[in-house]
Amino acid sequence: MNQPSAETAINILTKLKEQTSSAALAYWIAPNSVLTLSGARAMCDGVYYATSRYGNKQLSAWTKEIQDSIEILSSITAVYLSQFGIDKTSTTKEKYTRYDVIIAQGLDYVLNNTKLLGDGKLELISTGDKLIEAMSSLLKQDSRFSHFKEENLYHIAYGIILGYPDKAILGSVAEWENDDPFAEPLIDADIRGSRFYACPIPVYSYPRHMVNDSDINTHEQLWSKILKDFYASDFHKNLAKDKAFNQKAKELGILR
Q: What is the pLDDT of residue 158?
A: 96
- Residue 182: the pLDDT is 87
The pLDDT-based confidence of 147 (bands split at 50, 70, 90) is confident
Give the residue extent of every domain in the chain.
6-106+234-251
Question: What's the pLDDT score for residue 157?
Answer: 95
- Phi first, then psi: what are they for 100, rounded to 5°? -130, 130
Cβ atoms 43, 84 nearer than 8 A: no
Phi, psi of 79 (to 5 degrees): -90, 115
pLDDT tens by residue, 149-181? 999 999 999 999 999 999 999 999 999 988 788
In whole angstroms, give the CA distance from residue 82 to residue 47. Answer: 14
3 state DSSP class of 201: coil
Residue 256 near residue 31, CB atoms below 8 Å:
no
pLDDT band per the 50, 70, 90 thresholds, residue 118: confident
Closest of 39, 40, 37, 61 to residue 50, by C-alpha: 61
Q: What is the pLDDT of residue 204?
A: 98
- H helices present in the chain, as ranges: 6-19, 31-37, 55-76, 104-113, 131-140, 150-161, 166-178, 214-231, 234-240, 243-252
Q: How open is the CA angle 51-251-104, to the nearest 5 degrees?
A: 115
Task: Work out the average pLDDT over 22-40.
Answer: 98
pLDDT score for 241: 97
Note the pTM of the prediction, 2 decimals.
0.95
Instruction: Categorize the per-residue pLDDT at 20 as very low, low, confident or very high, splitting at 50, 70 and 90.
Output: very high
pLDDT at position 1, please? Answer: 66
Residues in CB range of 218: below 8 A, 6 or more apart: none
Contacts 24+ apart (CB under 8 A), 12-19: 12/37, 12/73, 12/76, 12/77, 13/37, 13/235, 14/235, 15/76, 16/69, 16/72, 16/73, 16/76, 17/239, 19/72, 19/75, 19/76
Give me the phi and psi of 188, to 5 degrees please. -80, 145
Q: How confident is the model at residue 90 (pLDDT cuts 50, 70, 90)?
A: confident
More confident residue, 124 or 133: 133
Judge whether residue 21 has pLDDT over 90.
yes
Q: Which residue has the higher pLDDT, 256 or 102?
A: 102
Query: Average per-residue pLDDT in the chain?
Result: 94
